[in-house]
Structure 1
C-alpha cells in the first residue's frame, strides 16, 4: 500500500506542477525494431538512428510480417507512443512503418538510396544524446498527406527536453526535403567557428588572424557539416489506425521493386524468345527452299541434270 500511495502522490505532484507551469510535458518515446531477414546495411541504419534518438528504445526482431498489430502491444509494454518498424523483403527491399499507437495513423514507406555512417566517412560529428533541429521543406504544407507525414516525423524524430538521456543542448540538424514525390532525409552537424581563427582561402593562403579584442564584437560563423546517415523514403499508403484500419491515402504512382525486377526478367526472356523464333523461321524457310540436308521439302531435280540424263 505504501508503494501505491507514493506512486499516486508523485502523479498528483507532477500534474500540479504541469498546471502551475502552464505547459504540457512532451512525453515521446520511440520503439525501433526490424523484421527477420534484414541485411547488415539495414542493421547499421537501425544503430545509426538509435544513436541519434536518445528517447528511443531498441527491441529484438519481430518474427512475423503479417500480424503487425502485435506491435501495439509491444509499444504498450515498453511504454512507447511511437513505433518505427523496418520490414525487409527478399533480403533486398526495405520498407519503413511509422505509427502512433494505439490509435494511429500509420505510414508505410519504401526506403531507397541507403548510405550509413560507416560507408560515408563524413567529417561531421555530434555528441551522443543531443537534441536535433528538425528542418522541413515548405512543400510539406501544400498537401494533406504530407502534413500527416510531417506530424509523424515530428513526433518520431523530435527529441523532447524532458527525456531521460538527453543532453541539454542542440548541435545537429535533420533535414526533410520533398522532391520527385520522395522524401530526402539528411543529417548535419552545426559547426561554429570563431572569427579570429585562420581559414584557408581559395589560393591556399591563410587569412589574417584577428586578436581576441578585435574579434570580440564579431559574430560566430555557423556552418553545416553532414554526418549521415542519408536515405530516401517514398510514401506508399497511410492507414487511419495503428497498423490497420481503412486507407486514407494511397500513392498511385508507386511501383514496387519486385514488379520492376519481374518486368526486367520478362524483357530479357523476350529477347531470347525473339531470337529463338527467328531461328525457327530461318530453319523453316531453308527447308521450304530445299536447302536443308535433313528435314523440310526436298528440292525437285532438274530435267537437264546429269543424274537424270545418264541415269
Structure 2
C-alpha cells in the first residue's frame, strides 16, 4: 500500500518540468536533526533519547560524544550527516542533565537544564500515535512576550516540526506537542489526538451543557468536532509522553560558541544547591561543637569539671582507668 501511495503522490517528469519553467516549483523544507549524548548518561536519559528519536522521523541518532569541552566538533558531525539541527544531551556527575539545542552551523544555540523527566514507558501513558507521523506544535502565548523566548520558540520549531515529505514520514498528523511557560520554565508534553464516536444521548447532553471540561486522568475532552453521516465524533487528547521541564540558562550567538545573547541570572545550578546543603549541615555540626566547648568551659569555671575545684579524682574516673 505504501508503494502505491508513493507512486500516486510522485509528480510526473512533465509536470515537474512545467512547474520549474513557470517558476511554481514546490518548495521542500529540508530539516534534519542530529541527536546524541555525552558520556555518563543514565538509563533514564538514554530512554528519553530513544523516545525523542522515535517521535522525530527526520532525526538521526549518533554515538556518544567523548568530550564535553570541545562541543564545536558537533558542527562537523552535523555536516557529515547532512543535519542542520542538533540536540545534545550533556550529563554531569550522573545526576544532572543539560540539553543543548543548536542550529548548525551558524547558530544560535540555547543551553537548558532538564528536570522532572518521565519517559514513555515509565508512567505507562495510555496514549499512542503512529510512528513517523507529523506533530502539531502548540506554543504558549508567553513565547511572544520576550525576545529571548522568540529565539527559543524558533529553535524548538525548527527542531521538533517534522517537515512535509521528509524521510520516513507518514502523511498523517495524529499527535500534539505542547510547549508551555510557567515559573520561568518550559513545560513540554505530548498528546495523542483521539477521535471517538458520540452517541445521540451524549450529543444531546453536549448541546445542552455546552463544551465539556477537562476529563480525569491524562485525557482532555473537547466538544463534537466533526459530523460523519448520522453520528458525530468527539476529539480528545490523551497523553503519550515523554514529559519534561526545561530551564533556559544561556543563549549563544553561533553554534556552540560565540557571544552571549541572553543569560538567566535567576538560575542556580543543582551542583551549587547540593554544595549549599552540605555547608548547611556542616554549619550545624560546627555550632554543636562550639556549644559543647562553651559548656565545658562553663562547667570548669563553676568547679564542676573533673579534676578542678572541690571534686576529686577517684579510682573509677575515666582518666585513671584509661590513662
- In the alignment, structure 1 residue 141 sits paired with structure 2 residue 144: yes
- In the alignment, structure 1 residue 170 sits paired with structure 2 residue 173: yes
Do the aligned partners of 1:289 and 1:299 also contact (CA within 8 Å) in 2?
Answer: no
* Superposition map of 1:1-311 within 5 A: 17=20, 20-196=23-199, 216-294=229-307, 297-299=308-310
Cα 1:179–1:284 change in 2 (3 A) is: same
Q: Which has the larger radius of gyration?
A: 1
For structure 1, the residue ranges without an aligned partner over 5 or more in a row are 1-9, 203-213, 302-311
Q: How many residues align?
A: 276
- 1:142-175 C-alpha deviation (Å, 9 max, x unpaired): 0000000000000000000121200001000000
Whole-angstrom distance in 2 between the partners of 1:181 and 1:257: 16
Alignment correspondent of 2:320: none
Alpha-carbon deviation of 1:196? 3.9
Whole-angstrom distance in 1 between the partners of 2:253 and 2:245: 23
Whole-angstrom distance in 1 between the partners of 2:260 and 2:252: 5
RMSD: 2.5
For structure 2, the residue ranges without an aligned partner over 5 or more in a row are 1-12, 206-214, 216-226, 313-323
Do the aligned partners of 1:18 and 1:24 also contact (CA within 8 Å) in 2?
Answer: no
Whole-angstrom distance in 1 between the partners of 2:101 and 2:179: 15
- 1:55-111 C-alpha deviation (Å, 9 max, x unpaired): 000000000000000000000000000000000000000000000011000000000
- 1:219-253 C-alpha deviation (Å, 9 max, x unpaired): 42100000000000000000000000000000000
Whole-angstrom distance in 1 between the partners of 2:155 and 2:106: 13
Alignment correspondent of 1:209: none
Whole-angstrom distance in 2 between the partners of 1:300 and 1:123: 77
Do the aligned partners of 1:195 and 1:215 also contact (CA within 8 Å) in 2?
Answer: no
Alpha-carbon deviation of 1:20? 3.5
- 1:20-54 C-alpha deviation (Å, 9 max, x unpaired): 43542110000000000000000000000000000
Alignment TM-score, normalising by the size of structure 1: 0.84
Whole-angstrom distance in 1 between the partners of 2:106 and 2:165: 24
Do the aligned partners of 2:31 and 2:85 also contact (CA within 8 Å) in 1?
Answer: yes
Cα 1:19–1:80 change in 2 (3 A) is: farther
Do the aligned partners of 1:18 and 1:25 also contact (CA within 8 Å) in 2?
Answer: no
Cα 1:197–1:30 change in 2 (3 A) is: farther
- 1:112-134 C-alpha deviation (Å, 9 max, x unpaired): 00000111101100010000000
